[in-house]
Amino acid sequence: MKKALKWLAGIITILVLLGAGTAFYLNNTAQNRLAKKYDVQPKAIAVPTDSSAIAAGQKWANYLCSGCHGSNFAGTRFFESPDLGTIFAPNLTPGGVGGAYSDLDWVRAIRHGIANDGRPLLIMPAKDFQHLSDEHTGQIIAYLKSLAPTEQLWDKPKTTLLCNILFQTGAFGDALNAETIDHSAPPHFAPPRAENAEYGQYLVRLGGCRACHGEQLNGGKDPNPEAPMGPNLTPGGNLPAWKAEGFVKAMRTGVTPLGKELNRKFMPWEPIGKLDDDQLKAVYAYLMSQPQLETAPADH
Ligand code: HEC
Ligand code: HEC
């Protein structure tokens, strides 16, 4: 009996050591990934200075950047959890990181997901923004550079051991876009602005709807463990009955034609609702041009 207990204790000790070893290993590899320096020379693009380009850039930035960096672009506490750590979306105005960014640095961050010190950016959806045309990228940069400086400093992200382990096992999906982007891909072109599915596809790509509504847009899950399911946006879901007008209203007010209040913490309807009517209708046209798919099961 005593011998059996000794054996058991020995086995448990070995398991604990193996567990600690694995945790140590995963934590280390995660830290190496976060600290890796990327040497990417982005394509230089023209950054305009005229007021109409800056106004266009404001619209793009409202749609694509305000959800995380705040409606005044001075940054937000993007994610905060005692168990996992804190991730800030920093201040983009000239009083924050913007002050130290050259035009090329902006392109590198927006399209490649890499900070001006070569570090890969967490969460920053550069993979979506890679689809921005040169013209629209230039307008966004022009607008951000034109902002009045807001003095607000944010720390670099801090992740806990648990967070690093989960991150290393892939639990947060593609959180470092710099790792998976094809940095030498040729630039994309924007289709002409029109109330049609082709232009809607451009907007849906940039807005990253698939990250939460699934690759086929028929339902999916945000990597954030607390988030509810992203519903089916194809003609197999609720949207056909809403008509374009109902969709526009839902994105503007956060309340669907069925009277459901959309949770603003997990569904970024406010930035989406900043698109113009014709743009929202283009998004709707694109969604309605998708195959009518059944809603994906909850574990997808
Ligand atoms: C889904 C949320 C999200 C969206 C949308 C987003 N960002 Fe970010 N961004 C972040 C987070 C989080 C960080 C901080 C990442 C880090 O420090 O590792 C960041 C970092 C950055 C940085 C790097 C700052 C530094 O520390 O050097 C720049 C520049 C930036 N974002 C610009 C933009 C622009 C421009 C847009 C819109 C075109 C945008 N972001 C949209 C979440 C987002
Ligand atoms: C960060 C994750 C996320 C992103 C990005 C996102 N959504 Fe959502 N969306 C959600 C979640 C979660 C819900 C469900 C909200 C709730 O239950 O309160 C939702 C709900 C919706 C609904 C209501 C559907 C219904 O049947 O009630 C529509 C419409 C919608 N999203 C459209 C879009 C579009 C279009 C885009 C891209 C431009 C987009 N979403 C991007 C997470 C997201």
What is the Cα gyration radius of the chain? Answer: 22
| Alpha-carbon distance values, 144 to 69, 96, 130 (Å) | 11, 11, 18
Q: Residue 239 burial by CB count (10 A; 0-12/13-18/19+): exposed, middle or buried?
A: buried
Nearest CA to ligand 2 atom 24: 231
Atom of ligand 1 nearest to the CA of 121: 18
Q: How many CB atoms lie within 10 A of CB 281?
A: 20
| Alpha-carbon distance values, 73 to 15, 116, 187, 189 (Å) | 48, 18, 26, 26
**Contact partners, residue 33, CB within 8 Å, separation at least 6:** 120, 168, 176, 179
Q: Which two tokens stand for residue 75?
A: 């940054």
Query: 90 CA to middle of ligand 1, Å?
Result: 7
Spatial contact of 269 and 250, defined as CB atoms under 8 Å apart: yes
Query: 163 CA to middle of ligand 2, Å?
Result: 25
Q: Give residue 300's pLDDT.
A: 46
Q: Which residue has the tokens 């839902």?
A: 250
Spatial contact of 218 and 233, defined as CB atoms under 8 Å apart: yes
Q: Using a 6 Å cutoff on CB, does residue 271 contact ligand 2? A: no
Query: 92 CA to middle of ligand 1, Å?
Result: 8
Query: 14 CA to middle of ligand 2, Å?
Result: 46
Atom of ligand 2 nearest to the CA of 208: 5
Q: What is d(CA 175, CA 82) in angstroms, rounded to the nearest whole number? A: 19
- Which ligand gives the minimal distance to the CA of 121? 1
Using the CB atoms, write b or e for 71-103: b if 16+ within 10 Å. eebbbbebbeeeebbbbbbbbbbbbbbbeebeb
**Contact partners, residue 263, CB within 8 Å, separation at least 6:** 228
Query: 257 CA to middle of ligand 1, Å?
Result: 33
Q: What is d(CA 294, CA 300) in angstroms, rounded to the nearest whole number? A: 13
Q: Using a 6 Å cutoff on CB, does residue 62 contact ligand 2? A: no
Q: Which two tokens stand for residue 141?
A: 């940069």
Q: Using a 6 Å cutoff on CB, does residue 212 contact ligand 2? A: yes
Q: Give residue 20's pLDDT.
A: 86
Nearest CA to ligand 2 atom 36: 209
Atom of ligand 2 nearest to the CA of 224: 1
The Cβ-side half-sphere exposure at 131, using a 13 Å CA radius, reads 15
Q: Using a 6 Å cutoff on CB, does residue 231 contact ligand 2? A: yes
**Which of 37, 121, 132, 209 for a ligand 1 pocket mutation test, highest count of atoms within 8 Å of Cβ?**
121
Q: Give residue 299's pLDDT.
A: 63
Q: Give residue 1's pLDDT.
A: 61
In which residue ranges of the chain is pLDDT below 50?
300
Q: What is d(CA 128, CA 144) in angstroms, rounded to the nearest whole number? A: 19
Q: Using a 6 Å cutoff on CB, does residue 176 contact ligand 1? A: no
